């Protein structure tokens, strides 16, 4: 009698659906990013408000789950668990191949993120932390959970446009502000809002940089004008250009969120009792208060909480088993 087939591992997405809590309805077949832009009349302040609504509503929803008497367990990622603990299933390799465009955080954001990770690790010592060299924000996911051959055929289709796509932020600059820890039963992230006229805090473009690039906001002038092109506009434009190559775009979700994963849970140990869970939620609330008071809109502070997509490097076109920051770069765009 042959060996029994191993049961397929279940992605955390199945048990932990990331739903859009902004209230915007997306019509099938449309560019999904246009729906929010149109609902906000293209206004940066309204777009920022919907991003804020989504992340605040989601944190309240997740806080309720952590503190509920009906809490059962955290959602442990079985793929990451096997990758981090090879003894569980020797030789295990993540079979889920993806194709994405990532925005890589610049050095000053990495500094802030490391500070947040250290504080979270004190509150939950068994937390798995995303390595800093793997940190990313997904600007557009083209495909996930596919075979290497399927991904390679998509890359071949998109190759003529890859330079244009990865270089898009060089001239279309979108600013992100107001970092905030977002969390659920499987992971934590630091999320940002599209800027809407806030004072510029980011370091200037790295010299030497072309003088012909005109972006008033980067020079500390008219941010109200420069912020009219938001991160959501950038995502819309990357979507349109990617789709123009003929590739089918199969993103898992399209929500008003600009986030960098900080860590994931690999054990129930730190969150087994109501007291532990209360302490955990309080630690996140305290960090968010610190961010709002000591980082948001703070000139010459210890940490800078703003960045412009494209600082230091352009978009990173990447494929492979990259769920936890792995995979390989196909092409990366020019930074500023």
Give 289's contacts (C-beta < 8 A, 6+ positions apart): none
Residue 175 phi, psi (nearest 5)? -100, 140
Region 111-123: mean pLDDT is: 97
pLDDT at 250 over 70: yes
Among 27-41, 96-110, 216-230, the range with the most confident prediction by mean pLDDT is: 96-110
Lowest-confidence segment of 11-20, 155-164, 189-198, 307-316 by average pLDDT: 11-20
pLDDT class for 11, splitting at 50, 70, 90? low
Q: Does domain 30-86+94-332 have CATH number 3.90.1140.10?
A: yes
Say if residue 26 is exposed, middle or buried (CB neighbours under 10 Å; 0-12, 13-18, 19+): middle
pLDDT in the model for residue 1:
37
pLDDT at 182 over 90: yes
pLDDT at 166 over 80: yes
pLDDT at 236 over 70: yes
Residue 147 phi, psi (nearest 5)? -80, 160
Q: In whole angstroms, give the CA distance from residue 261 to residue 242.
A: 24
Tens digits of per-residue pLDDT, 72-81? 999 999 999 9
Region 102-121: mean pLDDT is: 97
Q: How many CB atoms lie within 10 A of CB 133?
A: 8
Higher pLDDT, 277 or 3: 277
Tell me: cis bond preceding 208? Omega within 30 of 0 counts: yes
pLDDT class for 20, splitting at 50, 70, 90? low
Crossing angle (nearest 10°) for helices 274-294 and 107-123: 150
């Amino acid at each position: 009698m042959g060996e029994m087939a191993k049961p397929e591992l279940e992605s955390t997405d199945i048990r932990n659906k990331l739903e859009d809590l902004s209230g915007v309805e997306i019509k099938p077949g449309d560019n999904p990013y246009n729906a929010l832009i149109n609902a906000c009349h293209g206004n940066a302040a309204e777009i920022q408000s919907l991003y804020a609504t989504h992340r605040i509503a989601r944190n309240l929803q997740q806080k309720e789950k952590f503190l509920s008497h009906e809490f059962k367990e955290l959602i442990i990622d079985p793929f990451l668990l096997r990758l981090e603990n090879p003894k569980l299933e020797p030789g295990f390799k993540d079979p889920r191949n993806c194709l994405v465009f990532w925005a890589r955080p610049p050095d000053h954001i990495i500094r802030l993120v490391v500070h947040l990770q250290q504080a979270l690790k004190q509150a939950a010592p068994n937390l798995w932390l995303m390595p800093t060299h793997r940190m990313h924000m997904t600007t557009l996911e083209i495909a996930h959970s596919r075979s290497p051959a399927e991904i390679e055929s998509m890359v071949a289709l998109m190759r003529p446009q890859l330079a244009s796509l990865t270089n898009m932020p060089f001239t279309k600059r979108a600013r992100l502000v107001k970092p905030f820890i977002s969390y659920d039963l499987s992971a934590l992230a630091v999320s940002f809002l599209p800027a809407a006229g806030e004072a510029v805090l980011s370091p200037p473009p790295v010299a030497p940089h072309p003088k012909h690039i005109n972006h008033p906001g980067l020079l500390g002038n008219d941010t109200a004008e420069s912020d009219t092109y938001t991160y959501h506009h950038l995502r819309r434009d990357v979507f349109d250009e990617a789709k123009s190559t003929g590739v089918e775009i199969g993103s898992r979700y399209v929500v008003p969120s600009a986030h960098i994963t900080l860590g994931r849970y690999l054990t129930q140990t730190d969150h087994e009792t109501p007291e532990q869970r209360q302490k955990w939620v309080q630690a996140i609330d305290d960090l968010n208060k610190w961010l709002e008071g000591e980082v948001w809109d703070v000139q010459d502070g210890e940490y800078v909480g703003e960045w412009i997509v494209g600082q230091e490097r352009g978009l990173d076109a990447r494929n492979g088993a990259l769920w936890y920051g792995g995979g390989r770069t196909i092409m990366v765009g020019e930074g500023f």
